[in-house]
Structure formats: C-alpha cells, structure tokens
A = this chain, B = another copy of it.
Amino acid sequence: MIKTEVIPLGTSSATPTRERWLSATALQRGGRILLFDCAEATQFRLMAAGLSPARIDTVLITHLHGDHFFGLPGLLTSLSLNHRKEPLTIVGPRPLANVLTQIPGLGVDELSFTLHFVELESGEGRRTVVETPDFTVEARPIQHRVPAWGYRFQEQTLPGNLDAERARGLGATEHEQFRRLKSGSDITLSDGRIIRSADVVSPPAPGASFAYVFDTRPCDQGVQLAREADLVYHDATFASEHAERAVRTGHSTAAEAARVAADAGARKLLLGHFSARYQSTDILVREARRVFENSHAAEELKRVLVRQV
C-alpha cells in the first residue's frame, strides 16, 4: 500500500507573516520526498513537519524569486554536514546552478554529495524532468513576471489486478499462464478454450497525480498540468477584489485557480500563496467554491492525501 501525500510547509506569498511561512511543499510517497520550491527556512519547516531532509530525492524550483528558493543553500549545507552521500537532483530555471554553486560552501567538491542539476531554459515547452520506474514529473512553462514552470507529479499507470481464482475457475493452472493474463495477453488452454485477459484482470488504473502551479496567472499550461489530477495546488494569492492586482503581479485569484481546476477536470483544489492581507482565507475558499466545489485552503503543515493505492 503506497500513500502519496502533500504537506504545505509555507503558504504565504512574498513576505512571511507570524502564522504563515514561505513557499515550499513536500510530496511524500513511500517514505521518499519530492520538494516543490524551497523558500528560506524550509529546513526548519521540514523539521517541524517531522520530515527528514535526508529523504529528499529531488527539489523542483518554479522560478527564481527569493520566496521560492532562498532555502536551498541552508538545506544543502545541512545535508552535507549530516554526511549525505546520495546525489540530489535540483530542477529549476537557468541560471540556478550558477547562482547556487558560487555561494561559499556550495561549490563543486565542497558538499558531501553530488548535485545533479536539470535546468529549464526560457522559451522551452513541456518537458519530463524526472523519470523513475514509479513516477514521472513533467514541467510546463506558466505565466509569471519572470520565467516560471509548473510541475506535475504522475505515478505510472498501475497494472490491473488479476482475479486468480476466476482465472483458475476458467482453467488456468500454470504460472506462465497467470503471468501472460496479467500482462494483458489472452491465452489458449490445451483443450483449445481461450481465456481473455480482460475477463480476469481489472482495467489498469492511472496512478496518483499532483499538479503544483506556482506563481502564475491562470493559463492553458496550468490547465494541462492539472488535467484530471487528483490534487491541484494553485497560486491563489488574491480574492476577486484584487483581480487587477493579480494581473499586474502575475498571480491568480482564488476564483481563477478554481476555473483552472474546473477546466482541467481535476478532483481537488488546494489554494495557496496567500497575500499577507488575508488573515483568514475564508473569502478565498468561498470564491473558489462558487467555481469549483472541492476547493480548500492550504494550511501550514496540514497533510493532504493525494491517493492511497
């Protein structure tokens, strides 16, 4: 049983408040962590959430505004002081690698582990930036004041389950027969009868999916990232009263985030990156729900289940 969950480590935009920290979000799956954005103090927030930084495999940075990546130097330094050996992948816009590696302590050969950079270029389109046997992460350019990318985590499609009892009832007996049925092939028994895979194997199920769409105006690429996703976590900096300000600053209103989720046919929407002017997020949730019912405000360190399979 593999659980995929998302833990917001900071839900404020731009400057922190007494209650809200800056942008960083952990996706935890099978004990490993993908980190989306890494604002200042992320290593402290991981500690507060009970998540070990040692379990991070990949950090994905959306854009080079400080409130999305100023926590990287401290996180990398602490990993090194704790003698990390596994390489760490960092995905983000160029020139992130240069910016980081010229900081004292982060130079080549200064860390205890290897940094593997995947840099995104301005003007680049959709690209798969992480690929493992279990999941992929896709990046797409979104619309902010500086080059910015949204990400979609997608578990591989899960093969259907073989109903072994039923297959036996239809005459299958050998290991190789079960294997072929499970892989989708029909088999012919020695007496000529045919067992069709579709009759004994449930249809393949799409794996868990999560879209992280920060910082951005509502846009088509955001919709593509969120397409039928289990969970979409979208920029919702403002309420509609500040719709014009959202346009000017390259952010979204909660209602615009909800429209993206609705157009994408997503299952659930998480609102985040709140302007410090909203002490309560009630108005944002209210406005989002008028467009997309299953909308929720991200809460500091409150875990959100993406899927359990």
Residues of A near any B CB (own CB < 8 A)? 14-16, 18, 21-22, 39-41, 43-44, 47-48, 64-67, 70-71, 73-74, 77-78, 81-82, 99, 102-105
Contacts and interface: CB of A to CB of B under 8 A. Distances in A.
A15 B104 contact: no
A69 B306 CA distance: 37
Copies of this subunit? 2
A242 to B, nearest CB: 16
A67 B102 CA distance: 16
A161 to B, nearest CB: 43
Give the one of A14, A70, A71, A78 with max B CB within 10 A: A70
Contacts of A44: 16, 21, 40-41
Contacts of A78: 15-16
A102 B101 CA distance: 12
Contact of A81 (B15, B43, B71): B15
A41 to B, nearest CB: 4
A105 B65 contact: yes
A39 B102 CA distance: 18
Given A41-B44, A99-B104, A103-B99, A77 B66 contact: yes
Given A18-B47, A43-B40, A103-B99, A66 B70 contact: no
A128 to B, nearest CB: 26
Contact of A40 (B47, B67, B71, B81): B71
Give the one of A18, A22, A40, A99 with max B CB within 10 A: A40
A73 B68 CA distance: 12
B16 A64 contact: no
Nearest to A47: B18
Given A40-B73, A70-B73, A104 B18 contact: no
B40 A82 contact: no
Given A40-B40, A71-B40, A66 B15 contact: no
